[in-house]
Structure 1
Amino acid sequence: MTESFNDTFLKACRKQQVDHVPVWYMRQAGRSQPEYREIKEKYSLEDITHRPELCAWVTKLPVDQYSNDAAILYKDIMTPLPGIGVDVKIKKGIGPVISNPIRTLPDVERLGVLEPEKDVDFVLETIKLLRTQLNVPLIGFSGAPFTLASYMIEGGPSKNYNKTKAMMYSQPEAWQKLMDKLGSMVVTYVKAQIKAGAQAIQIFDSWVGALNQQDYRLFVKPIMTRIFSELKTEGVPLIMFGVGARHLSLDWHDLSLDVVGLDWRYPIQEARQDGITKAVQGNLDPSLLLAPWSIIEERAKAILDAGLKHPGFIFNLGHGVFPEVSPETLKKLTKFVHEYSREQLAITN
């Protein structure tokens, strides 16, 4: 690393004083970048993630292009599943497709145990490589048990998660065993990423908002409590994020995590009023990135004004960057967040 290390993101996660609001974007590496699209003509997502030098380059590209305050490892939440016996392929225009869905207790019992050094060695090599290249923190990540289970049970993406919920309600023993197995896999996987050099971890429970609060507390929260309790001892900031999960945010706040990620539907000031005192991350609607700059700036400013009222704020989108977004827009947005927040913090500090 030739430049001095920028630890603003880590400080914000820990609610420490910063001189500007840190910025990174979910799905910042990938589909919206022309350089990435050129690579994808030759390599699949799986190909890229299995080539540490190429994967590191893709991960680092948005940091170089946008001057973001953190990098997030380029990979998919499905990455560790083949290691436990799940036959998953990422199909263009569909997403993850699983040829051997989990439907019964014997299916769950057949799942293996993740051995990171053997099953995801390419991920660990990429992390080690990035730590020699980055001057900002590297975020590792994992899918959460419910979201992983939803793909494994449905066989692919779903709009209503009927099969997942049916298994949860009608086969509680199988569901519990599946949560336990996936919970153990997540802890093992994340600890291996941290050992390799990941400096923060985001857990994506992308689709858990499909559950009501009662079912979340009964069927999912116990395993999330265990995961975060076991990861807390690793000493790196832990972030939680899901979509459409406002009704679960206080349950997340109970967990041993550092940062609550907010999607675009949940205003920061309301999250604070609801009792969220931990650091928060979010939450510009990604669709706004296609709006005129004056509107993007106005909305970003409002989010910053709300976020800056309390220590511990990281600017992000309320979900991921999508392919139609111009890299120039993200670059301009990062610059605005840095400059505006620096001005505001200079006044208040």
Structure 2
Amino acid sequence: MNLDAQHPLATGLTADARLIRAYQGTRPEVTPVWFMRQAGRSLPEYRSLRVGTRMLDACLDPEMASEITLQPVRRHNVDAGILFSDIVIPLKLVGVDVEIVAGMGPVLGKAVRTANDVAELTALDPSVLDTSLAPIRQAVARTVAELGATPLIGFAGAPFTLAAYLVEGGPSKDHINARTLMHADPEAWAALMAWTAEVTGRFLRAQVLAGASAAQLFDSWAGALSLDDYTRYVAPASAAAIAHVRDLTYTENGVPTDADQTGEETATRRNVPVVHFGVGTGELLKEMHGVGADVVGVDYRVPLDEANRRLGGVVPVQGNIDPALLAAPWPVLEAHVLDVLERGRTAPAHVLNLGHGVPPLTDPNVLTRLVSFVHEIGASAPVAS
């Protein structure tokens, strides 16, 4: 399906951005950089704006969500915005009893533990999202209008991560109830995963159609899985979720090629780039790429050159600064960033990011300085070994 003619990729507004070129496997002269969780807790302007507003209410207020998305772009000069939202938003909008509890995260009104629970949950019709996601589409449209040539990234939670929250009833260290259901009742598990894939896939598609220039699927809890469990019980649902945006394409105008003797411009059909990121998923990287992603995000546990080796040397990578080092003395952080950049050069292209989200107590000035540092040294400049 072609994107609307006014989409920022279709008009060319964001098609040549550093981030998009890197996601497509072309290394730009300057390494693009953005941060997971760059919008939110670490910014005083965010905390001021959020006073008196619950998290999910903020996500569903188009004006507030847009402003929060734009705050780190203005402050840090990052190469992309990422929509301020939450992975449980589509669950909330489809009718699931879920809230974000401060200091805990998503908490469900009822855990989904049995086949009957799964049947009750999956009776909720994901197609209601076509209407109820209107605030998200409005937030994206407002944000894209302000960002101009800076791409907006849409995001969603991967089916397993959503399923883990649903089965556990909230955050968990080992997701043992979810893993038990996976094996104890494979039929119920398959139904649950198909439903979460449909819900989160619709959420991701709505953001892209509204103007997001890239999409990222987060599998925050996939690191709890063995390779076999991921491949058998999770990867098919992740592929189904990504399929909701995989068909979205646009035409990129090119220059005459040697094969074109008419002198007319050629055109290239491109898909909206998709990033897949997971926490603790070093053993799953190749399979995570195989579900249909263009780019693989790597957390801080695996060096990028090793991640590139595991991916076969053909996949753009994103990552993977250790968030803990954001609070270290600048020389320590600088050396770490240089090392990450050097290892990232082994891959076809590299987008610098954290190996997880921005910690709440991070000094925003450190992030601003880091972006400036990366932009100044450039992707082709020599770095310390």
TM-score scaled by length of structure 2: 0.86
Matched ranges for 1:104-119 at <5 A: 104-111=114-121, 112-114=124-126, 115-119=128-132
- Tell me, in whole angstroms, the C-alpha distance in 2 between the residues paired with 1:80 and 1:187: 9
Matched ranges for 1:79-118 at <5 A: 79-111=89-121, 112-114=124-126, 115-118=128-131
Matched ranges for 1:200-279 at <5 A: 200-234=214-248, 235-274=271-310, 275-279=312-316
Quote the residue 1:290 is aligned against.
327
Deviations along 1:307-348, whole A, 9 cap, x unmatched?
A: 123331100000000111011000000011111125518xxx
- Tell me, in whole angstroms, the C-alpha distance in 2 between the residues paired with 1:317 and 1:18: 19
Deviations along 1:74-97, whole A, 9 cap, x unmatched?
A: 011111102333100111111111
- Tell me, in whole angstroms, the C-alpha distance in 2 between the residues paired with 1:20 and 1:26: 19
- Tell me, in whole angstroms, the C-alpha distance in 2 between the residues paired with 1:192 and 1:342: 33
Deviations along 1:47-88, whole A, 9 cap, x unmatched?
A: 211211111010011000000000000011111102333100
SS of 1:344 mapped into structure 2: coil
SS of 2:181 mapped into structure 1: helix
SS of 1:96 mapped into structure 2: strand
Quote the residue 2:195 is aligned against.
181
Quote the residue 1:40 is aligned against.
50
* Unaligned 5+ runs, structure 2: 1-7, 249-270
Larger Rg over CA atoms: 2
The offset of 1:160, in angstroms, is 1.2
Conserved? CA contact 2:205–2:244, under 8 Å: no
- Tell me, in whole angstroms, the C-alpha distance in 2 between the residues paired with 1:110 and 1:140: 29
Equivalent AA in structure 2 for residue 197 of structure 1: G
Quote the residue 1:147 is aligned against.
161
Sequence identity (%): 39
The one of 113, 123, 130 equivalent to 2:143 is 130
Quote the residue 2:134 is aligned against.
121
SS of 2:240 mapped into structure 1: helix
Quote the residue 2:179 is aligned against.
165
Quote the residue 1:301 is aligned against.
338
The one of 211, 215, 232 equivalent to 1:197 is 211
Equivalent AA in structure 1 for residue 195 of structure 2: K
Q: Label 1:179 to 1:203 Cα distance change in 2 as closer, same or farther (>3 A).
A: same
Q: Label 1:160 to 1:310 Cα distance change in 2 as closer, same or farther (>3 A).
A: closer
TM-score scaled by length of structure 1: 0.94
In terms of mean alpha carbon deviation, does 335-344 or 243-252 score higher? Answer: 335-344
